[in-house]
C-alpha cells in the first residue's frame, strides 16, 4: 500500500504555477502585456514612493533605506517571485519592530545584520515548504483583511485630501505615534483645511470616478492612458499654477519629499552596510527570527489576498514567494535597506491600475531607482492630495458594499469572521486584526464541529441509533459525552460507526466507559464497526486510494 505522500507524488505536476489555470484567452507574456503593465507600474511607483519614505521615517531608519527597499522589492523580489500581481517593499507592519530593534541594538548597521539573517531564515522556510501555512487562513478572514485595509486606507487619506498632513503616510494602525487615532484625526483636520488642496482632491476624485464609467472604459484613448496617471500630471500642473498666488500656493509639507543628491558621491553615501562583527550578539538572532516570522506571515497573507483580487484567479507558488522574499531581505540587509514583505496596498493599486503580470512590479522598482537619480525635483512637485485621491479610490474598491452583501449571503459562519477581521484591523492593526478574525473563525468551526459529530435516530419502541460522522476527533468529545448522557434509561442504543473513517482514541474511550455505566441504567449498547484509531486510519487511506483511482 502506498502512503498518501507517494500517491500525491505520482500525480502529474505543472511545470509552473500558472500551468493548467484558465487564462480566459489572455496571453500572459510580460512583453505582450507591456501596454498594461507599464502604465500600472507608474501608478504603483507614485504610490510606493511616499510610502517607502514614510515607513523608513516611522521605523527610525534613514529615509534612503526605505527607497532602497522599494527598489529591491520591485526588481529583485519581483523578478524571483511567482506572484502575478503582488508588489513587495517596506511594510508598515514591521515599522514598530524595526524601530525597537534599531534602538535596542544602538546602530542601523548592526540592525542590517539581523535583516540579512532574517532573509536567510526565509530562504530556509521556502525550501522547507513552510508556505503551506497560507492555505490555513479561511477566505472569510482574507476578504475581511482586504475590506478592513480598504476602509482604513480611505479613512487615513481623508486628512491628506484636505491639507492636513502631520501624520506619516505609512501609519496604518488605529493608535498613532502622536497620541491621536484614525477617527480623532478626522476631527483635527477641520482646523487645517486648505482650499487649494481640496480643489486638487475634488478634481482628482472626479476624474478617477469618470475614468471608471462605461463611456471612458470603452474609449480607446482612456483605455491606453490610466486615470491615476492623468490625475498625477494634473496635480503637478495645478501645484505649479497655484505657486504664483501666495494665497493658493501649496507648501512643501503637502508635497512628496524625496531626498535630492547633488552628485554621485552623495547618492552612493546613502547606502549602508552591515556590521558583521555584531554576529556575536545573541539579540541579533532573536530579532532576525521575529523579522522572518512576522514578515513571512504578512507576505503569505498578502499573497493570498492578491490572488483573490486577480480576475484570472492565478495561484501564487507560496514557497517560491518565501524564497524570493528571503533573497530580497538578504540584499536589503547588505546594501542598507529595511525589511520587506509583499504589501497589499501596492498590490491592490497594481491590480486596479490594470497590471497583468509581475513585470509591473519589476518596472516600478526600476522607476524608483531612475527617479531618485534623474528627476527627484519633479517628483517633489506632486501634491500628497493627488496620491490621497488615488488611494481613496483603491480603498473604496477593496471595501465595496457588494462585498459585504456577498459575504452576508454566504451565511453567518462566513460573515461574522469577516466583520470581526475588519473591526480588528480598524481598531488595532493588520496582524492583530487578522488574529482576531482567525480566533472567531476557529471558534465557529469548533462550534459547528461540536454540533455535527453525531446524528440521533429514533427507532421502534425504545431503540435509539447514534450515527457517528465521517471524522470524529477529540474536539467532539464534549458533544458525544453530552449526547450519551441524554440517552433515556431502559433503552437499546446502537452506535453506528460504519461510515466513520477516523475516530480518535479519546472518543472510543468515552464510549467504552459509557458501556460500563450503561448497565446500571438498564441501557443495552451495541456497536457497529467501532474499531480502534489505527484501523480507521488504514480504512481512510484505502478510501483515499479508491477515490483517487
**Do 150 and 388 form a contact (C-beta atoms < 8 A)?**
no
pLDDT at 447: 77
pLDDT at 176: 73
Instruction: Report pLDDT digits (tens) over 448-472.
Output: 766 666 677 777 777 898 888 877 8
Instruction: Report pLDDT digits (tens) over 40-99.
Output: 999 999 888 888 887 887 788 988 999 999 999 999 999 999 999 999 999 877 887 898
Higher pLDDT, 333 or 95: 333
Percent of the chain with pLDDT over 90: 38
pLDDT at 261: 81
- Cell 500572459: give the residue: 28
pLDDT tops 60 at residue 19: no
Vertex 184, ends 183 and 190: CA angle to 5°? 105
pLDDT at 312: 84
pLDDT at 53: 85
DSSP, residue by residue, 447-469: HHHHHHSEEEEE-STTEEEEEE-
Q: How many residues does the chain have?
A: 549
The residues pairing with 454 across neighbouring beta strands, listed in sequence order, are 468
Name 204's Cβ contacts closer than 8 Å, sequence gap at least 6: 231, 234, 235, 385, 386, 389, 390
Vertex 336, ends 331 and 339: CA angle to 5°? 65
CA distance linking residue 69 with residue 329, whole number of Å: 8
pLDDT tops 70 at residue 124: yes
**Listed range (143-152, 155-164, 387-396, 538-547) with the worst mean pLDDT:** 538-547
Vertex 468, ends 464 and 469: CA angle to 5°? 140
DSSP, residue by residue, 378-398: HHTTSBHHHHHHHHHHHHHHH
pTM: predicted TM-score of the whole model, two decimal places: 0.73
Q: What is the largest CA-CA distance in the chain?
A: 98
Identify the three-state secondary structure at position 456: strand
Instruction: Report pLDDT digits (tens) over 125-181.
Output: 999 999 888 778 888 998 998 899 889 889 888 999 999 987 665 566 777 777 778
Higher pLDDT, 330 or 294: 330
pLDDT at 415: 95
pLDDT at 30: 65
Instruction: Report pLDDT digits (tens) over 225-279.
Output: 778 888 989 999 999 999 988 889 999 889 988 888 888 888 888 899 999 999 9
pLDDT at 172: 62
pLDDT band at residue 16 under the 50/70/90 scheme? very low
pLDDT tops 90 at residue 418: yes
Number of other residues whose CB lies within 10 A of the CB of residue 520: 8
Reference 387, options 204, 237, 258; nearest CA is: 204
pLDDT at 452: 60
Distances (CA, A) of 141 to 146, 182, 419, 420, 430: 9, 22, 9, 8, 12
DSSP, residue by residue, 418-446: HHHHHHHHHHS-HHHHHHHHHHHHHHHHH
Instruction: Report pLDDT digits (tens) over 339-361.
Output: 999 998 899 989 988 899 999 99
Burial class of residue 255, CB neighbours in 10 A (0-12, 13-18, 19+) = buried
User: Crossing angle, helix 401-409 and helix 139-162, to 10 degrees?
Assistant: 160
CA distance linking residue 159 with residue 163, whole number of Å: 6
pLDDT tops 50 at residue 522: yes
pLDDT at 35: 86
**Listed range (5-9, 216-220, 371-375) with the worst mean pLDDT:** 5-9
CA distance linking residue 53 with residue 61, whole number of Å: 10
Identify the three-state secondary structure at position 138: coil
Identify the three-state secondary structure at position 349: helix
Query: DSSP assignment, residue 250?
Result: P
Name 85's Cβ contacts closer than 8 Å, sequence gap at least 6: 306, 307, 309, 310, 347, 350, 351, 355, 358, 360
pLDDT tops 50 at residue 545: no
Amino acid at each position: 500500500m502506498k502512503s498518501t505522500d507517494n500517491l500525491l507524488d505520482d500525480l502529474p505536476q505543472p511545470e509552473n504555477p500558472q500551468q493548467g489555470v484558465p487564462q480566459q484567452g489572455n496571453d500572459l507574456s510580460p512583453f505582450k502585456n507591456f501596454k498594461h503593465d507599464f502604465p500600472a507600474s507608474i501608478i504603483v511607483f507614485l504610490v510606493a514612493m511616499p510610502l517607502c519614505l514614510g515607513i523608513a521615517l516611522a521605523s527610525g531608519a534613514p529615509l534612503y533605506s526605505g527607497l532602497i527597499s522599494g527598489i529591491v522589492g520591485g526588481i529583485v523580489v519581483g523578478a524571483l517571485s511567482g506572484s502575478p500581481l503582488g508588489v513587495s517593499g517596506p511594510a508598515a507592519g514591521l515599522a514598530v519592530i524595526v524601530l525597537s530593534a534599531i534602538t535596542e541594538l544602538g546602530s542601523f548597521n548592526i540592525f542590517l545584520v539581523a535583516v540579512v539573517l532574517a532573509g536567510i531564515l526565509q530562504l530556509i522556510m521556502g525550501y522547507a515548504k513552510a508556505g503551506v501555512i497560507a492555505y490555513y487562513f479561511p477566505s472569510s478572514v482574507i476578504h475581511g483583511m482586504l475590506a478592513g485595509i480598504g476602509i482604513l486606507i480611505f479613512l487615513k487619506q481623508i486628512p491628506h485630501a484636505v491639507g492636513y498632513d502631520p501624520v506619516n503616510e505609512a501609519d496604518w494602525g488605529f493608535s498613532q505615534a502622536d497620541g491621536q487615532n484614525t477617527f480623532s484625526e478626522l476631527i483635527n483636520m477641520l482646523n487645517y483645511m486648505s482650499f487649494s488642496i481640496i480643489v486638487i482632491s475634488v478634481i482628482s476624485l472626479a476624474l478617477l470616478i469618470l475614468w471608471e464609467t462605461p463611456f471612458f472604459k470603452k474609449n480607446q484613448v482612456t483605455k491606453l492612458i490610466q486615470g491615476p496617471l492623468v490625475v498625477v500630471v494634473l496635480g503637478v500642473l495645478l501645484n505649479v499654477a497655484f505657486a504664483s498666488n501666495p494665497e493658493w500656493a501649496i507648501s512643501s509639507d503637502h508635497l512628496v519629499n524625496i531626498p535630492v543628491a547633488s552628485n554621485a558621491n552623495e547618492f552612493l553615501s546613502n547606502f549602508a552596510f552591515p556590521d558583521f562583527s555584531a554576529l556575536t550578539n545573541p539579540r541579533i538572532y532573536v530579532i532576525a527570527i521575529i523579522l522572518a516570522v512576522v514578515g513571512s506571515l504578512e507576505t503569505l497573507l498578502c499573497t493570498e489576498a492578491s490572488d483573490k483580487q486577480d480576475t484570472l484567479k492565478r495561484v501564487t507558488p507560496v514557497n517560491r514567494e518565501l524564497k524570493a522574499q528571503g533573497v530580497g531581505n538578504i540584499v536589503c540587509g547588505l546594501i542598507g535597506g529595511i525589511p520587506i514583505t509583499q504589501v497589499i496596498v501596492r498590490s491592490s493599486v497594481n491590480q486596479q491600475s490594470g497590471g497583468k503580470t509581475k513585470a509591473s512590479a519589476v518596472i516600478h522598482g526600476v522607476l524608483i531607482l531612475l527617479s531618485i537619480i534623474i528627476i527627484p525635483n519633479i517628483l517633489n512637485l506632486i501634491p500628497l492630495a493627488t496620491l490621497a485621491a488615488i488611494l481613496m479610490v483603491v480603498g473604496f474598491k477593496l471595501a465595496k458594499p457588494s462585498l459585504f452583501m456577498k459575504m452576508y449571503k454566504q451565511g453567518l459562519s462566513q460573515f461574522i469572521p469577516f466583520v470581526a477581521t475588519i473591526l480588528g484591523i480598524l481598531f488595532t492593526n493588520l496582524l492583530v486584526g487578522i488574529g482576531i478574525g482567525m480566533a472567531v473563525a476557529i471558534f465557529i468551526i469548533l462550534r459547528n464541529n461540536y454540533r455535527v459529530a453525531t446524528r440521533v435516530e429514533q427507532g421502534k419502541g425504545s431503540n435509539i441509533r447514534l450515527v457517528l460522522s465521517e471524522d470524529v476527533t477529540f474536539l467532539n468529545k464534549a458533544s458525544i459525552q453530552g449526547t450519551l448522557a441524554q440517552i433515556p434509561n431502559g433503552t437499546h442504543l446502537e452506535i453506528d460507526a460504519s461510515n466513520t473513517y477516523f475516530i480518535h482514541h479519546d472518543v472510543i474511550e468515552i464510549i467504552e466507559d459509557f458501556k460500563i455505566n450503561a448497565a446500571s441504567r438498564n441501557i443495552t449498547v451495541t456497536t457497529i464497526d467501532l474499531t480502534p484509531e489505527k484501523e480507521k486510519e488504514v480504512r481512510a487511506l484505502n478510501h483515499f486510494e479508491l477515490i483517487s483511482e
